[in-house]
Each structure stands twice: as structure tokens, then as C-alpha cells.
């Protein structure tokens, strides 16, 4: 087992029991090889096994800051062998200085829509619907033998608090291209298994296979460990991190596939009319006659074809975005009729169902089939050439990872997915933006630019079935936005899914607090920012919420209480610029009742000191605090956005109201000068579009405002609170604000 090192939270290994276990078949016989010693080669029946284990520093029996390990199998026999599973590590789970009931365990779901959270073992195991459809989409390793254990895809972090402090252990795979991999933990904490699924691939004599690279890290901060894993995996896999995450408009959450060409064109015109900085026009599902027949358009919706619509988008200066589900073929599609041999087959030679799409069965394509890969490349090259698409959303990618008979019997499910995505990336080139969705996460690292990291948002806050954390709902979507925040900027740009800011009605049930919470979480997450309202009919007053999330900052807030609450409540963005540092905290009330929330500065990770506090949505200055702040009447599903800025003894910028992140993106220059007791602050703001907002300044007691100018014109400041003034302005691309102050004698 492990125990805590004296005076720290780093675990120490004190007992044996570690092993690597390989499950394979020779002919009809199943075999198991157990390797108890690292770096010792074993031979059996023509197979060569080696378990590599490299300590980064230290040895067994002392502190373990890190280990890397993998297993390689080489076939030197005379008949084929079939490799099923490799447990790169099977070991007693360290108790971390506390009983398992006090552990918090990070569980990462398999694909985009699968739930992710840190589960407290004392609360019991997470329950799932248990349906065949759920297992097909979210449980690729499901089996009766999995009962009584917790599974997490690619990585887990186990954390607990002890008398000596916090202790945490990360176990995760930092390469993700060869096999689907998971980390399993017995509910009673007795055993830990890090497993790679080789899916029964055939090894011919002379062939070799290697597991993914497993790492172990220990430390006192579980969130930092998860961020470290994301960074390391991105480096190992060549993660594609766009400098500026895209903005755009998506047709789905207003029309749900029923939009016509006219609907799209009119929304492009509305974007122009409202002067909204939305760059991509994403035509989502519904334009095609069947999944797989991407150039067979529904003539009732697109009577003149796709080209005139795309031309209108380009003429408006926007980018063309197109949705596909490239790894499926509908049962009634022309694609399946022409190429029935392109789909996966089960043991009875029946087509493998990928998913049910609005009542229609879609079969899973075999992405190891050379003709399928050639067709994928030709399809996306044609979309790029004929439609001039530069933004591609590829959906339902998990279909390629279903179990079945493949053309290449040496390929795993993970490799099948990756080959399909590689064919698409090669076809569209390195400059086009590729967005994964419904995707096995690990298989796409290094290939996609963006990744959906949660279930679909919805005009409803709660899912229809409350216990299905993968079903569409704004609450479910936001859970994953927060719990997968560490992936952003390390593996790809996170896609939190679309904003919905329209008012309540037949197609919208979110109340204002819920809309503001969605806007807040999307803005603080820093990733893709797409709206999906009918912008022809939206109330003008609602557009301000969309503007306040644009543009994406590119940096993500941190879920500071991820390992304390299964629905994290603190999503905190730390911003540092040449002219200062401030923090923006999204403080969530997930409850259905109004409460009073007391927030201690220690919980936010702020250095000791005194801070101005501004409540963004209520446009209220809450004063100066040095210990705690209270959010009174914290309403149901309301996120209080609180800005914390260190108190200065001189006049200073407090905040702006143009963006939820308050100065992170719109302030491009800040100058302060003081001469002979007189001070001047000059601020330059830049933001696309047209938007009204306010710039607030703190004015310490011995100072007074002499003059204020906006774009060179004098303006009388408004006193918002004692020692706080503001200036209102319409920001249209560029604005300059200057305020002069005089220091009074004591």
C-alpha cells in the first residue's frame, strides 16, 4: 500500500503486489501472462513479454513523484496469436491516509456526451439507465464483470483530505492512439487496474504490439494533477490548440433540422443587421436526405442546392461550416445500398448498428476499410472544393469504435476511429477547423482543433430523466463544461455547445437566471462560442447577453472545488496583464431554492489582501473585503459573477461591463501616470460589433475626479457607490477613455 509522507501529501509505496497482466489467445485457448517484475523479459509459447517501468525520480519505498510504464508483446511463434487486454498496472490501491469512503474519484466518460465528474465514494456509485442504447454510446467496455468497480476513460485522480493535508494520486494514459484505455477502481478501494483494450487483434509471427504509455503522479492538489495530465497528453499527442477559438451561428437549436435555405440566409442577414461578431455559419443536421448521402439534398429545404446558400455566407464575409456524421450510413441510404460491405458486421454477419437517428437506423462504417477511407477523403475534399467549407463538425464518431468484424484484423477500435479522423484531416488540410462531437476523446487528440465536451444544451434546464447525466439538458451540458475545463488549451479548444439567449416561449423554457448561467459558463470556459437562436425574431434586449460572451478569451476558468462537490460551484478565472491582476469567479447555485452564499477568499485561491468586489449581473459594487463576501438572495440556478481586484491607494480601473470576463479581451491598453499629485488613466478598448457598456473606476478617499473623456469628448462620470465612478459608452470597434484625478491634501 501507500502511506502519506511525513509533513506532505505525497504517497509512499510500502507493500508489493504490483503486476502487469496480459490476456491473449492461441487458437481456441485463452491464456493469461502475469508479470510481477518491471523491466524483466518473459518468454512463453513463442511470445515475448516485457513490462517497462521507468521512475522519473526515486525508487520503491520512497516518495514517488512519478512513474511511466508500458507493456510490449512480440510474437516469435509460428501460429497467429490474438491479443485481448493488457493491464499495464494491476495493484493494490493506496489508501491515501483515509478510508475509501472519504475519497473523491474523477470519472471521465468515454465520449463527448458521456458524463464526467468527481464522485465521492461515500455517496455510492453513479447509476446509469442501463439500456442497450446507453451502453452502446457510453460504455464501450461494459460487461457483467464490471459491477462493483468505477471506470474512468484514460485517466483518474483519487483525492482525499487527511490530518497532514490533502493527498491525491493520478493514474492516466498520456498516449491515446493505439487502444481504448481505462482506469478501474474497486468500490472498496482494494484494487486499481489501468487497462488497454486490444480488442482481439491478430498478431502474426514477427508482429509486435505496444500498450499506451501510463503515468502515475502524486501530489497534494488533485486539480493541478489533472491539468498536468492534460498538458502532458497534449504534448505527447501533438494537440492542436487554435489561437483564437471560433465564434459563429448554428442552425440546430432553433430549427432542429427543419431549417430551409431561406432560414439560413435570413439569419446571415440578421447577423449583419445586428452587427454581431459571429464568423462561422454552421449548417447542422437536416440538409441531407439520409446519413451518408451528403450531396443528396432535401429539395423541400434546399431547392436550389447548397451552392447559393454558401455563396450568400461568403458574400457576407462569414465562413462556411457544415455538419456531418461521417462514420455512419443510414439503412435507407444510397451509400449503404451501394456499399453494404463498407459497414461493420457482427458475429452473425449482420450490420452493426451505430446509432438510431431520429427513428432511423444508422449502421457503423468500417474505418479500416481502404475504400471507406478513400470515400471519406473524397467527400470532404468535395465539400471544401465545391462549397468552400472551412469549418467541419463531425458527429457521432463513436460509431466507428463499436465492436465488430473489420477489414483490418490487426486494428483496434481506437485505431479505427483515428484512421477515419486522419482521413478527414488529410482531406481538409491543416488550416481548416475540425470540430469533433460524439467522439471517443482520446482517439482524436492531435487531429481535431475543437471538441464537444458535454451533452447537448437544451431549451430546458433539467433532462427528461434526471438520472441520465448524458441526456440533453442545459444542466447536464454545464456539468461537463466545468468538469472537463482542464482539457481546454491543452488537448484542443473545448466546445461547450451553443448559447441560447432568446426569451421564454414555446421553444424556450430557460428562465433569465438560467440563460445568464449558460452565458457565464460559456464565457468563462474560453472555448468556442456559437449561438443557436433565430436571430430574425430575437428580442433586441436579449442580444446583450450574446455580446457579453463574445469574443472567446481563449483561456479557461478553473473548477476549484471539483473534488469537493460533484456539481462544482466555483469556476474561477485568473487574469494577469501588464497593468494588473484580477479574478472573475462564477459562483453557482444549483439548488431550486434561494439561498445565501458565503464565499471565503481562501476558497478562491486569492493571495491575502484587500479586494474590491463587483457583482457583474446585478451591476452592483459590493465593497472592499479581506476575508469573505456574502451573496445575498442567491437565486435558483443563478451564477453570481464576482470580480475581485486588489485594492490600490491610487485611482484604478475597477472593471468593465462589456464582457463577462471583464477586461480580459476588450481592454487592449492601459496607461497610468502621476505628476505633481495629479493622475491620469488612459484605457483603449477594442471589440468587434456595437455594444453599450460601462467602465468603472475606484477612487480612493483622498482623490477626486477632475475630468473624464470618452473618445475625446468630455463626459460627466456617474457615482455608482462611495469611491466608485463609471462612464457609459457605446463601443463600436474602438474607444478611448481618459480620466484625470487630483489628490487632495489630508
pLDDT for 1 equals 32
Residue 121: per-residue pLDDT: 86
Residue 163: pLDDT over 90: no
The dihedral formed by the CA atoms of 465, 467, 470 and 476, expressed in degrees to the nearest 10: 90
Q: Return the pLDDT at 100.
A: 87
Average pLDDT over residues 302-319: 97
Which three cell numbers, joined as nine digits, stand for 238? 501533438
Name the percent of the chain lying above pLDDT 70.
95
Cα–Cα dist 443/237, whole Å: 10
Handedness of CA 597, 602, 604, 608 (dihedral sign): positive
Ramachandran quadrant class, 689 (left: phi over 0; alpha: psi -120 to 50; beta: rest): left
CATH of 650-746, one of 2.60.40.3260, 2.10.210.10, 1.10.760.10, 2.40.50.180: 2.60.40.3260
How is 326-358 classified by DSSP, letter by letter?
A: TTEEETTSHHHHH-GGGB-B-TTSPBPEEEEET
247-327+369-548, what's its fold? TIM Barrel (3.20.20)
Query: Cα(first)–Cα(last) distance of the chain, in Å?
Result: 66
For residues 295 and 292, what is the distance between their CA atoms, to the nearest angstrom? 9
pLDDT at 15: 52
Model pLDDT for residues 358-405, shown as the tens digit of each residue:
999 999 999 999 999 999 999 999 999 999 999 999 999 999 999 999
CB-based contact 326:422 (threshold 8 Å): no
Q: What is the reported pLDDT for 125?
A: 61
Has residue 721 got a pLDDT over 80? Answer: yes
639-694 confidence digits (pLDDT tens): 999 999 999 999 999 999 999 999 999 999 999 999 888 999 999 999 999 999 99
2-237, which class in CATH? Answer: mainly beta
- pLDDT bin (cut points 50, 70, 90) of residue 12 is very low
Helix (H, G, I), strand (E, B) or coil at 512: helix
C-alpha 114/C-alpha 108 separation (Å) is 8
- b/e for 358-378, b at 16 or more Cβ within 10 A? eeebbbbbbbbbeebbebbbe
Mean pLDDT of 472-480: 97
- Residue 330 pLDDT greater than 50, yes or no: yes
Q: Which of 87, 263, 285, 395 is catalytic?
A: 395
Partners of residue 106 on adjacent β-strands: 118
456 is catalytic: yes
Whether 261 has a pLDDT exceeding 90, the answer reads yes
Q: Where are the beta strands (DSSP E) in 80-232?
A: 81-91, 104-107, 117-120, 149-153, 155-162, 165-173, 180-186, 192-203, 208-210, 214-219
Q: For position 467, what pLDDT does the model report?
A: 82
Going from N- to C-terminal start, the domains of the chain cover 2-237, 247-327+369-548, 650-746
Q: What is the pLDDT of residue 277?
A: 97
pLDDT at position 143 is 64
Percent of the chain past pLDDT 90, that is, above it, reads 85
Lowest mean pLDDT among 50-54, 95-99, 427-431, 725-729: 95-99
Burial code of 630-658, b = ≥16 C-beta within 10 A, e = fewer? ebeebbebbbbbbbbbeeeeebbbbbbbb
**Dihedral (CA of 186, 192, 194, 199) sign:** negative
Output the pLDDT for position 60.
32
Q: How confident is the model over 603-607, as a mean pLDDT?
A: 94
Specify the pLDDT at position 7. Answer: 29
Examine the pLDDT at 187 and tell me if it is beyond 90.
no
550, 275 contact by CB (below 8 A): no
pLDDT tens profile 276-310:
999 999 999 999 999 999 999 999 999 999 999 99
pLDDT in tens, 509-549: 999 999 999 999 999 999 999 999 999 999 989 999 999 99
**Residues ≥6 apart with Cβ < 8 Å to 232:** 174, 215
Query: Mean pLDDT throughout 25-31?
Result: 91
Q: Is the per-residue pLDDT at 9 higher than 60?
A: no
Active-site position among 199, 456, 495, 531: 456
- Of the candidates 746, 715, 741, the one whose C-alpha atom is nearest the C-alpha of residue 730 is 715
Average pLDDT over the chain reads 93
Task: Write the pLDDT tens digit of every residue in 555-581.
Answer: 999 999 999 999 999 999 999 999 899
pLDDT given at position 465: 82
Per-residue pLDDT at 65: 53
Q: What pLDDT score does 129 carry?
A: 84
Contact between residue 45 and residue 77 where contact means Cβ atoms under 8 Å apart: yes
Per residue in 172-181, pLDDT (tens digit) is 999 999 999 9
At 55-107, the pLDDT tens digits run 765 333 333 457 899 999 999 988 999 999 999 999 998 778 888 889 999 99
CA distance 388 to 396: 23
Chain segment 123-149, per-residue pLDDT in tens: 866 778 888 889 889 999 976 545 568
CB 695 within 8 A of CB 653: yes
- Asked whether the predicted pLDDT for residue 615 surpasses 80, the reply is yes
Is residue 449 annotated as part of the catalytic site, yes or no? no
Residue 133: predicted pLDDT = 87
Q: By C-alpha distance, which of 519, 443, 453 is closest to 486?
A: 453
Query: What would the mean pLDDT of 584-597 be, rounded to a whole number?
Result: 97
60 phi and psi angles, rounded to 5 deg? -55, 140
Amino acid at each position: 500500500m501507500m502511506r502519506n509522507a511525513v509533513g506532505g501529501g505525497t504517497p509512499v509505496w510500502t507493500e508489493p503486489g504490483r503486476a502487469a497482466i496480459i490476456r491473449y489467445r492461441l487458437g481456441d485457448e485463452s491464456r493469461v501472462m502475469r508479470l510481477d517484475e518491471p523491466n524483466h523479459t518473459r518468454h512463453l509459447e513463442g511470445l515475448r513479454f516485457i513490462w517497462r517501468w521507468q521512475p522519473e525520480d526515486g525508487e520503491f519505498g520512497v516518495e514517488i513523484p512519478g512513474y511511466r510504464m508500458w507493456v510490449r508483446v512480440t510474437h516469435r511463434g509460428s501460429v497467429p496469436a490474438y491479443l485481448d487486454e493488457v493491464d499495464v498496472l494491476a495493484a493494490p490501491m493506496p489508501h491515501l491516509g483515509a478510508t475509501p469512503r472519504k475519497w473523491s474519484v474523477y470519472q471521465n466518460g468515454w465520449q463527448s456526451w458521456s458524463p464526467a465528474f468527481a464522485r465521492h465514494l461515500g455517496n455510492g456509485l453513479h447509476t446509469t439507465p442501463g439500456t442497450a442504447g446507453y451502453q452502446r454510446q457510453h460504455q464501450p467496455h461494459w460487461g457483467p464483470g464490471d459491477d462493483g468497480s468505477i471506470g474512468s476513460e484514460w485517466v483518474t485522480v483519487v483525492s482525499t483530505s487527511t490530518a497532514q493535508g490533502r493527498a491525491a494520486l493520478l493514474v492516466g494514459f498520456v498516449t491515446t492512439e493505439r487502444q481504448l484505455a481505462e482506469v478501474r477502481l474497486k468500490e472498496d478501494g482494494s484494487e486499481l487496474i489501468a487497462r488497454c483494450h486490444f480488442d482481439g487483434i491478430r498478431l502474426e509471427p514477427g508482429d509486435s504490439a505496444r500498450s499506451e504509455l501510463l503515468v502515475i503522479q502524486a501530489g497534494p492538489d488533485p486539480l493541478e494533477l489533472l491539468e498536468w495530465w492534460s498538458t502532458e497528453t497534449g504534448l505527447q499527442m501533438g494537440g492542436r490548440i487554435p489561437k483564437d477559438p471560433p465564434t459563429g451561428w448554428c442552425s440546430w437549436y432553433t430549427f432542429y433540422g427543419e431549417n430551409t435555405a431561406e432560414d439560413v440566409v435570413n439569419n446571415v442577414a440578421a447577423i449583419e443587421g445586428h452587427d454581431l461578431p459571429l464568423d462561422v455559419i454552421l449548417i447542422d443536421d437536416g440538409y441531407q436526405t439520409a446519413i451518408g448521402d451528403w450531396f443528396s439534398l432535401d429539395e423541400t429545404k434546399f431547392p436550389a442546392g447548397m451552392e447559393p446558400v454558401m455563396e450568400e455566407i461568403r458574400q457576407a464575409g462569414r465562413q462556411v461550416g457544415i455538419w456531418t456524421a461521417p462514420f455512419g450510413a443510414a439503412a435507407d441510404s444510397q451509400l449503404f445500398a451501394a456499399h453494404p460491405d463498407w459497414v461493420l458486421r457482427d458475429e452473425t454477419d449482420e450490420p452493426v448498428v451505430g446509432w438510431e437517428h431520429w427513428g432511423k437506423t444508422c449502421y457503423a462504417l468500417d474505418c479500416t476499410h481502404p475504400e471507406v477511407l478513400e470515400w471519406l477523403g473524397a467527400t470532404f475534399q468535395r465539400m471544401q472544393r465545391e462549397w468552400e467549407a472551412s469549418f467541419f463538425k463531425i458527429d457521432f464518431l463513436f460509431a466507428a469504435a463499436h465492436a465488430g468484424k473489420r477489414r483490418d484484423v490487426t486494428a483496434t477500435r481506437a485505431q479505427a476511429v483515428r484512421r477515419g479522423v486522419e482521413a478527414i484531416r488529410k482531406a481538409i488540410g491543416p488550416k481548416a477547423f475540425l470540430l469533433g462531437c460524439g467522439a471517443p476523446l482520446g482517439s482524436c487528440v492531435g487531429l481535431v482543433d475543437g471538441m464537444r465536451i458535454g451533452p447537448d444544451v437544451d431549451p430546458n434546464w433539467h433532462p427528461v430523466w434526471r438520472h441520465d447525466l448524458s441526456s440533453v439538458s442545459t444542466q447536464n451540458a454545464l456539468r461537463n463544461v466545468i468538469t472537463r475545463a482542464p482539457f481546454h488549451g491543452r488537448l484542443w479548444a473545448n466546445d461547450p455547445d451553443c448559447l441560447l439567449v432568446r426569451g421564454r416561449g414555446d421553444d424556450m423554457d430557460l428562465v433569465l437566471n438560467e440563460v445568464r448561467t449558460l452565458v457565464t459558463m460559456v464565457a468563462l470556459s474560453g472555448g468556442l462560442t456559437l449561438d443557436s437562436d433565430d436571430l430574425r425574431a430575437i428580442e433586441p434586449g436579449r442580444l446583450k447577453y450574446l455580446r457579453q460572451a463574445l469574443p472567446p478569451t481563449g483561456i479557461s476558468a478553473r473548477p476549484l472545488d471539483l473534488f469537493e462537490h460533484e456539481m462544482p460551484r466555483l469556476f474561477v478565472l485568473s487574469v494577469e496583464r501588464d497593468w494588473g491582476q484580477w479574478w472573475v469567479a462564477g459562483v453557482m447555485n444549483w439548488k431550486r431554492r434561494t439561498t445565501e452564499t458565503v464565499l471565503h477568499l481562501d476558497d478562491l485561491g486569492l493571495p491575502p489582501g484587500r479586494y474590491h468586489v463587483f457583482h457583474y449581473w446585478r451591476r452592483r459594487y459590493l465593497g472592499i473585503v479581506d476575508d469573505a463576501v456574502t451573496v445575498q438572495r442567491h437565486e435558483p440556478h443563478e451564477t453570481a459573477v464576482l470580480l475581485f481586484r486588489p485594492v490600490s491607494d491610487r485611482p484604478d480601473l475597477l472593471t468593465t461591463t462589456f464582457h463577462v470576463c471583464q477586461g480580459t479581451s476588450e481592454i487592449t491598453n492601459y496607461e497610468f501616470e502621476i505628476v505633481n499629485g495629479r493622475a491620469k488613466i488612459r484605457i483603449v478598448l477594442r471589440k468587434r460589433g456595437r455594444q453599450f457598456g460601462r467602465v468603472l473606476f475606484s477612487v480612493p478617499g483622498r482623490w477626486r475626479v477632475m475630468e473624464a473623456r470618452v473618445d475625446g469628448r468630455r463626459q460627466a462620470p456617474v457615482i455608482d457607490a462611495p469611491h466608485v465612478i463609471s462612464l457609459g459608452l457605446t463601443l463600436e470597434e474602438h474607444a478611448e477613455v481618459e480620466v484625470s484625478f487630483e489628490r487632495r491634501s489630508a
